[in-house]
Structure 1
Amino acid sequence: MNAHDTFIDLNAYFARIGFAGPARPEPTLDTLRALHLLHPQAIPFENLDVLLGRPVKLDLASIQHKLVTARRGGYCFEHNRLLRSVLQTLGFRVRSFAGRVLWGREAAEMPGRSHMLLLVDLDEGTWLADVGFGGMTLSAPLALETGLEQITPHGAFRLDDAGGEPRSYVLQALVNGSFTPVYRFDLDPQYDADYEMANHFVSTHPESIFVNNLLAARLAPGKRFGLLNRRLHVHHTHDEGAASESRDLSSVDELRRVLETEIGIRLPEALALDAALARLP
């Protein structure tokens, strides 16, 4: 654990996500579930800094300022480092790992480790916690048990045993009646330096999806909002059979409105952002 990760403003974080429990809740499964539900509904997933050519800083002070004080969002390294610090401050036993993103991939080759996730050890067992996977972000922790369909407020998920040494798992999401791979991870511990290297790749490499595309997402009660460039997707999670809605956003003004309302971002200054939005495919 990085020593700087111990300095977290719990009151500001709880106000940001709308947590109305005690000022210092006990490190229990109920507390973990409450925080895991509220966080991705209040703090959006977004890559505006990358799109604007700005560095994504992973020290806790920068993450707190951006996601909590400035009411922005971020991606996995920011979200899950923030949650990790909150949980550790509350007395949870938290371990950090890395995932290989399978979502949306058709190529057969194994992708690199570009995603951060957490495992939380409780008396009830070990739980996967992850509030930073964009449009398919979990809204509840999952028991680290394979072959078990687990229902969350925003859909059903399952962990499959992928074997290997150290042991590997594949997170699957129920989509249109069948389970679809989200990411693969193993129990090889990751350190902050590992995330710094992965963060540099995803925020600067010309082949990274984050460099030339706008990605933004947020959960809401019964809904998932997802924005890829100019296309907004709204998926209704209260009914597996409900059709998703999609529409194209034709203007910069419309993009800004969706980012501020449906996605819930307090946008940075207008000129640089408007120019970046205008360049979107």
Structure 2
Amino acid sequence: MSTPVDPSYQWCGAELDLDAYLARIGYTGDRAPTSATLRALTYAHTTSIPFENLEAILGRAIPLDLKTLQDKMIRRRRGGYCYENVALFAAALERLGFEFNGLSARVTMGAPGLRPATHAILRVLIDGRAWLCDVGFGAGPLEPIELIADRGEFTLGAWRYRLERAENALGVEEWTLHHFGRDGWIDRHTASVTPSYRVDYEVGNHYVSTWPRSPFVTRPFVQRFLPEVHHVLDGTTWTTEYPDGTGETRELAHTDLPKLLAEVFDIELDAADAAELARGGWSVRPEG
């Protein structure tokens, strides 16, 4: 008699409306758990579901249960930040039969010193090869990255990356992803291969969505990543970035935000939320 699998180690794939999810991201391809399928799913998810923290800005909790994620990101066609995107994507991978585990990464973006592990990514295993899937960063990549040491610079679409392997103080394998942008080459994040689970993401999610000094509760931060352009809304600053490192920056009024979100980021807010965001009350909150 087999021992039942503890559901804490699973990703709720059985609860996912797979057809609705695939329709949401516009995926109509093969459903076998292959590297080609993984590549196509990553591309479709990354280019269809924007990164956004608007629920936290509007003073709401950000639950990670699959029912809530499906209602928000599939039925209402909203976006989410890393924990939401990865939880939904992981449920799809589990439902499709992929072998994978969660990882937690330390986002650096060139900053010195030790950073907390508050970014969710996935490590997928296919035919003995390991792939890094980063569908929740908001800035790509468009495809999974095979974990190969000393591979040097490479491109995914038109966007440029580097991946470096090292070991931490305990001898655990770590991977640092670098990307090329407006500031040249910058280290994005570092992740060890120590597995993370849904319960770990719950803890990280609570921290980044409730700590008064978290960047995710102080101002709107929204991204849409496409093959030829990366749009970023940071507070009232709208930045457009291109693969060659060029870009444009525009300052907006609070009242411009709902229209911009709909037209550029594919996020349609209801009338009450649009009015609250346009009011700009989040911009005068005291820091905790």
Query: Could you list the runs of 5+ residues in structure 1 that have no partner in the other structure?
Result: none
User: Which residue is equivalent to 1:261?
Assistant: 263
**Is 1:2 matched up with 2:23?**
no
User: Which residue is equivalent to 1:275?
Assistant: 276
Determine if contact 1:151/1:157 at 8 Å carries over to the other structure.
yes
Determine if contact 2:239/2:249 at 8 Å carries over to the other structure.
yes
1:86-137 superposed Cα distances (whole Å, 9 cap, x missing partner): 111111111101001102x53x320111010001101261100011112x22
The RMSD of aligned alpha carbons is 1.7
CA distance in 2, matches of 1:251, 1:177: 27
User: Which residue is equivalent to 1:117?
Assistant: 121
User: Which residue is equivalent to 2:252?
Assistant: 249
1:231-265 superposed Cα distances (whole Å, 9 cap, x missing partner): 1111122xx15x2011111241x211111111111
CA distance in 2, matches of 1:21, 1:4: 22
User: Which residue is equivalent to 1:14?
Assistant: 22
CA distance in 1, matches of 2:59, 2:17: 28
User: Which residue is equivalent to 1:59?
Assistant: 65
TM-score (norm 1): 0.91
2:149 maps to a residue whose letter is T
CA distance in 1, matches of 2:10, 2:98: 15
User: Which residue is equivalent to 1:213?
Assistant: 219
Q: CA deviation at 1:176?
A: 4.9
Determine if contact 2:13/2:93 at 8 Å carries over to the other structure.
no
Aligned ranges 1:137-176 → 2 under 5 Å: 137-148=140-151, 149-164=153-168, 165-176=171-182
CA distance in 2, matches of 1:251, 1:77: 27
2:165 maps to a residue whose letter is D
Partner-residue secondary structure (3-state), 2:121: strand
Determine if contact 2:11/2:198 at 8 Å carries over to the other structure.
no
CA distance in 2, matches of 1:83, 1:169: 21
Distance 1:3 1:153, change over 3 A: closer
CA distance in 2, matches of 1:15, 1:127: 24
**Is 1:198 matched up with 2:204?**
yes
1:16-50 superposed Cα distances (whole Å, 9 cap, x missing partner): 1111224xx11111111111111121111000110
Partner-residue secondary structure (3-state), 1:77: helix
TM-score (norm 2): 0.89
Aligned ranges 1:232-247 → 2 under 5 Å: 232-237=238-243, 240=244, 243-247=246-250
CA distance in 2, matches of 1:79, 1:87: 12
Distance 1:139 1:123, change over 3 A: same
Q: For this pair of structures, how many residues does the alignment match?
A: 271
Q: Which residue, 85, 97, 114 being the options, matches 1:79?
A: 85
1:125-177 superposed Cα distances (whole Å, 9 cap, x missing partner): 1100011112x221110011133223112511121123222111111112358
Determine if contact 2:123/2:132 at 8 Å carries over to the other structure.
yes
